[in-house]
Every structure is written in structure tokens, then in C-alpha cells.
Structure 1
Amino acid sequence: MVRQRRRPTQADIARVVGVSQATVSMVVSGGPASELVAERTRNAVLEAAAELGYVVNAAARSLQGGRNRMLGVYTFEPVFAVDQREFYLPFLLGVEEATAEYGYDLLLFSSASSPGGRRIYAGGVNRLKVADGCVLLGRSLHQDDMTALLREDFPFVFIGRREVPGEELSYVAADYVGATRDVTRSLTRLGHRRLAYVKVADDKEWTKDRESGFRQGIEEAGIAAGDVHLHTLDEASPVLGGGIEEWLAEGITAVLVEPSQDDTAISAVERAATQAGVSVPRDLSVVLLGDPPLVNATARDWARFSIPREQMGREAVRLLLELLDDEPGAVRQLYLDCIPVAGDSVAEPRPGAEAPR
């Protein structure tokens, strides 16, 4: 008979360090009480926990102490900055409303004072554990933080699809693949067969999803790769130069624009069109693959699709509560449809416009 090695406990850590189990519990909880423990002792406890391979068992924690009935929302970047408010606020409203409806309190974690960027772990301690689980929000995450959270079986749900190599994460995401595919279909049905696609210079999940949807759309329409122009826009220097004039010379009649973090990409397209004397949509149809806050671009009614931000916040809370009732390591993933907005920046191509000049 093979005996399974039992998991290390807080009592094991206490024996190694020579402190009480209560002290160990205060340190590994990651809550405010851990700050009451002397730094030297706290470090010794964390080192012993790491050497023994101790991880918090979320299920056991729930059985022993019950829930705090507090959910957290952690932001990887400022969400209340003026230029970010319109984008992030609906997510937070959805999270707050759903949390209240389910009878929980909401805690905001930001790690604004963390050196070297916002991090979940400080000195090896997961500060989110004061809450029962957490909704995570933001574009730039640290994958080692994600890996550590998964190792602890700490319940969390990301707003937006996220990837960590070799791991499965829980998230609520906008269906960028389907939305971009549908936009591409609508352009081809209007008669646009030569297209340009402006993408942001990164390899984030949302960039890959939009491009995947675009490629599905042109494949379904039977459009050859040579009839598509892909342009990667550098957000640091968002200039198209003579791109639009060259596109028109090649017979391109429509352009799909992936949003950058703000309206940098669509602003660059609009500025280039104005400088070239190109009329939208008479000479060139333009579709925005999202709905970023318009700060630099004119507030025209761009053809676009809208992201269901508030619904995503609400669904993230619902999935998080499901995870609290599920087995440790369970995963929940949900995609929500984007909302098409016709706008006034798309029209049928002018007769003969697609013939290369």
C-alpha cells in the first residue's frame, strides 16, 4: 500500500519556525493582521511555508471560518484617471451592482504604492485573501501573480480573456472574434472586396481575437490574401503617412481599425484621411472594432461595435460566486456578444473604386 504524502499544515510551519500556529495563521492570511507580526518573524514564516510547499486550501478556509461575504476587485492599472474613466467605469458599476444584489460587500485593491508596478503579492503574501474571491481588471498583468493565485486555489475571475501558458483562467470576455467576423461579413455584403486592416503593435489576447475574426470573415467571403492590406500601427508614433493614398491606389475601399488603449488608432486614420483629402465614407468606409472613449478623434458616429462592459462586470461577479461554491481548481469562462452600431462611416463602394489606379 502506497501512502500519500500529506499536505503541510500551519502547525508544521509553526514547529519549523518556533512560533505559535496563531502567528503563522496571521502571516499566511495576508490580511491587515499580518502587519502586526515582526518583519523578521514574518519573513521566516514565509520562507518556511515556501520550503515546505504550503499553499492555502480555499475550500478548507471556507469550512473552517466561513465566508467574509466580501468580494474584491483588483485593478492592474489606474481606473479612475480622467482618460480611462469612460472605459473602466461601466465594468466597475456592473461589479458593484451585482455584488450588492448578492448581499456581499466590495473591496477595491489597487496596490498603487507597490514598487515596480502593481503587484498582487507583497513580500510573498497574497493581499487579496481578506476577501472571499476577487474580480481582476486591467490590460497589463503579471503572469507570475496569476500562476501563484492558481497554485493557491484562490477564486478569481478576470474581466477580459487572459492567457497564462499551461494554465486555464476563469474570465468573462467580449466575443471579439464573432463581432469582427460579422463586421467583415457586412462590408463584403455591401460589395467591399479589397480591405485594409489596422492593428495595434502588440500580441495581446484581444488583438489576436480581433484578427482571428477578420481572417474568418475574409475566408468566408472568398477574399484572397493579396486583396487585404495589414498595417501595424505603433501606438508610440501613431502615423499612417501616405498609407491611405496608397490604399486607394490599390483599390482598397474599406478599412477596419482595431482600437488602441484610447482613440489613438482611429485618430491616426482620421487625420491621414483629412490630410489626403479623402472623404469618409464616400471614398473610404471605416469601421472601428470597439468603442474607445473619443478624446482626439472627432465625435462622429463611427460604424463600430459596442462592448457590453457593465454586463461583463455583473457576469464576472456571478461566475466568481459559482467558483466559491465549486471544487478548488474549477474554471468558468463566458463570452458575451458585442452590440453592432451602424454609424455613418460605411457606405457601398463607388463604382469602379476597386480597380487599381
Structure 2
Amino acid sequence: MVPSAPVPRRRRATQVDLAKRAGVSQATVSLVLSGGPAADQIAEPTRQAVLSAAAELGYSVNIAARSLKGGRNHLLGLYTFEPVFPTDQRDFYFPFLLGVEEETARQGYDLLLFSSVTSGDRAIYSSGANRLKLADGCVLLGRNVRREELAELVREDFPFVFIGRRELEGAELSYVGADYVTATSKLVGELTDLGHERILYLRAVEDTEPTRDREVGYRQGLAAAGLTVDESLIRELEDPAELSAAFVKQRIAEDRITAILVEPSEDNRLTTALDAVSAAVSFPADCSIALLGDPPAWTPELRDWTRFSLPRAEMGRTAVQLLIELLKEPHNKAHHVTVPCAFVAGDSIGPVR
């Protein structure tokens, strides 16, 4: 395999660069970008030339940092690649946000939430400019990642840490990830210790790093138990609603499965589907089932599904700590931290019938 060429890092554009590109003095650039009364003295063609140069070079004004020595404003950003406040997802994301906020305050920084929605499209860059530059650095969060924007952040040498393991061809990204491999492998071990050999694995359709890690753990768990992987028992679950009673009964009859592992969604669709299935299939009497992560809105009043639990608040706190380290030593190598998940015994697995 030929190694990928590294993503070249681009020096951040300065007002001197803008002045050269627009063919004006740095003082003129400063007046245009200030936006104050003095900017009205600049001819419109000159002003447009400066703004065009700023867009072309990816320059964004850091208003808060203008008067601060060293260009820092003691402000950290939090950017999410999808909305985190809808009622069906807020319970999943809330612990991450809580951990980020707590650690940011403990470190003596302020926190700025970026939504960056333009014309219905969620994006970091608008007209070529990086909106996150108002902050010294940023914590990134979300499943639907724009890889091209991550590559651009790397080229700009903009400090960021991702919550969740993320890979980018030709570059090393700093991240705090959950140890899905070990957690899934141990959950497979729990099932094989109970005599299960035919374990159906329902994975997400998106080929993200967390999904790939879970599949690696599934394969490792079976190998540790001396079992051969039956590829027909690895299936994609496009919509949690597909996990119906009829589907489970068919898999029991045709594939002779005795247990199911399923990757939860970040909304309530999976737990809603499981509640419906439970009316016709008894877990674990008919079949054992375990979740490869937390249901987003689990409370003690709901079914205590066997699962592993992500240390979401801890991941948020650790991401902020790594970001502070990057700000102190900007030329250090990328930081990778993997945190263990906790096994929750629940009540939905049992010995093979």
C-alpha cells in the first residue's frame, strides 16, 4: 500500500498578505476590515478588492482578539456537524456538551457554540472563510463529518480536537474516542460465555470509524472464543424500524441465531422499535439482545437493556484538555486518546435456551 501524501499545512493569512493580493497598503486593509467610520473613506473598488483578497486567502477577522497581545482571546469553540438540540437527540449529546462546558470553565476559558447554518446547509466555511477563527481553537462533534472541511482546517493549521475517533487521508487528527473495539469484543465474550455461537450483528449503514471499530470488536470477540465469523450474520440496519418482531423471528428460524448485537441510533428510533418487538418476542427467553452503546434517552423507568455505556462527559472534558495542550504547543503531533466503556449487565441477555 502506497502511503498517502501528507496534507500540506498552509500558513494563516495575515493583513500583509491581503495587502499584497489587493495591491494596497496594510493600513488600507486595516481600515477596510475595521468596519468603523474610517472605513467609509475607502473607495468602493478598493474595499471590494480587499474583501475579495480576504475571501480568496481564507482570512477571517478575529474581532475579540484585536486588542489582545499574542492574538488570543481565551475563547474556545464547540462546533457540531448536525443539530444537537432536537428532542430526539439532545439526551445523547447532552453529556458531551456538559463535559465540554465544565472543563472549559475550569480552564478559565469562555465557550462559543457555532451552528454555522447557511441556506439550510451546515458548514464551517462560508464564502471561503473559516467561521471558527473567532475562537482560539475548537472542539468538533458529530457523525456526519465533512472530510473536506477537516482537510481545510488542517491546511490552515487551525487547532481542533474531535470527540470521536476520526481519520483523514494524509493527515493526523487529534481526537478523543471511545474504545468500541474492546467494549464490543467483551460484549461478544459475555454472550459466548453464556453458550451463544450464532450472534447476529446489526451494524449502521454509514461506514464511520465507530461502526468499523464495533465490527472489529465483533470479529475479535468471536475469534477469542474460537468461533469462525459467519459473514451472513453481519447485516446493515438502514432504519431501526426494520428491527421488527417478524424480522427477529425469521432470523431465529432461518439463521438459527440465539443472540443479537445492534448499534444504537442517536435518536429514539431503536428503543421505540425494541419496545414494539418486545410485545411479540421475549428477550432473553426467545433470543438475547445487547446494544453496542447507550440508548439516547435511557431512564430508570425504561427497559434496562444489556449494553456498554460511553463515558460521554469524560470524553468532552478530555477533548478540552487536549485542545488547551494544542494551544500551548501548536506544533506538537496530533493527540489520540481512547477511553474505556463500561459494561452494563441489564436484563436482556441470558443462557442459550
Matched letter for residue 338 of structure 1: C
Measure how far apart 1:64 and its partner are: 6.2
Give, in angstroms, the shift of residue 130 of structure 1: 1.4
Identify if the C-alpha distance between structure 1 residues 140 and 332 changes in structure 2 by more than 3 Å, giving closer, same or farther: same
Query: Which residue is 1:49 aligned to?
Result: 57
Q: 1:282 to 1:237 in 2, by over 3 A?
A: closer
Q: Which amino acid aligns with 1:154?
A: F
Residues 180 and 248 of structure 1, relative CA distance in 2, 3 Å threshold: same
2:201 to 188, 197, 200: 197
Q: 2:111 aligns with which of 100, 106, 113?
A: 106
Give the corresponding residue for 1:160. 164
User: For 2:32 and 2:79, how far apart are their aligned partners in 1?
Assistant: 21
Provide structure 2 residue ranges, at least 5 long, that are not aligned to the other structure. Answer: 1-10
Q: Which one of 209, 220, 224 corresponds to residue 220 of structure 1?
A: 224
Q: Equivalents in 2 of 1:171, 1:241: separation in Å?
A: 39
Residues 1:240 and 1:231: Cα distance change in structure 2 (over 3 Å): farther
Give unmatched runs, 5+ long, in structure 1: 1-6, 351-357
Equivalent position of 1:317 in the other structure: 320
Report how far residue 69 of structure 1 moved.
0.9
Please give the alpha-carbon distance, in whole angstroms, between the structure 1 residues aligned to 2:222 and 2:171: 31
8 A Cα contact 2:291 2:306, kept in partner: yes
Q: What is the identity, as a one-letter code, of the residue corresponding to 1:281?
A: P
Query: Taking structure 2 as the reference length, what is the TM-score of the superposition?
Result: 0.83
Distance 1:40 1:187, change over 3 A: same
Distance 1:108 1:20, change over 3 A: farther
Is 1:130 the counterpart of 2:106? The answer is: no
Query: C-alpha deviations, 1:107-132, integer Å up to 9, x for none?
Result: 111113x1251111111111211111
Matching residue's letter, 1:13: L
Partner of 1:92: 97
Corresponding residue for 1:144? 148
Q: Distance in 1 between matches of 2:221 and 2:35?
A: 52
Runs of 4+ in 1 over 6 A off after TM superposition: 25-28, 36-39
Distance in 2 between residues matched to 1:260 and 1:226, nearest whole Å: 24
Contact 1:238 1:265 in 2 (8 A): no
The alignment of Structure 1 onto Structure 2 pairs a total of residues equal to 328
User: Are positions 1:169 and 2:177 aligned together?
Assistant: no
Change (3 A) 1:108 1:226: closer
Q: Does 1:328 align with 2:331?
A: yes
- Rounded to whole Å, the distance in 1 between the matches of 2:73 and 2:328 is 14
Question: Which is worse superposed, 11-20 or 335-344?
Answer: 11-20
Q: Deviations over 1:155-206 (max 9, x none)?
A: 0001111122222111111111111011001111111111111112111111
Task: Please name the residue that 1:288 is paired with.
Answer: 291
Contact 2:291 2:307 in 1 (8 A): yes
Matched position secondary structure for 2:170: coil
Q: Find the counterpart in structure 2 of residue 353 from structure 1.
A: none
Residue from 176, 185, 188 that aligns with 2:189 = 185
**Equivalent pair of 1:233/1:240 in contact (CA under 8 Å):** no
Identity %: 51
2:72 is matched with which residue: 38, 51, 67? 67
- Match for 1:19: what amino acid? V
1:253 aligns to 2:253 (yes or no):
no
The one-letter amino acid of 1:186's match is E
- Aligned partner of 2:324: which letter? L
State which of 78, 81, 84 in structure 1 corresponds to 2:83. Answer: 78
CA shift at 1:25, angstroms?
6.2
Partner of 2:3: none
CA–CA separation in structure 1 for the residues paired with 2:297 and 2:312: 16
Q: Contact between 1:70 and 1:107, CA under 8 Å: does it hold in 2?
A: yes
**Secondary structure, counterpart of 2:79 in structure 1:** strand
Deviations 1:237-282 (A, max 9, x none): 63547432233224321111111232434544553453xx331111
CA distance in 2, matches of 1:338, 1:269: 23
> CA–CA distance in 2 between the matches of 1:32 and 1:88?
37
TM-score (norm 1): 0.82
Residue of structure 1 equivalent to 2:347? 344
2:307 maps to 1:299: no
Letter in 2 for 1:14: A
Give the aligned residue type for 1:344: D
Choose the corresponding residue for 1:210, options 201, 207, 214. 214
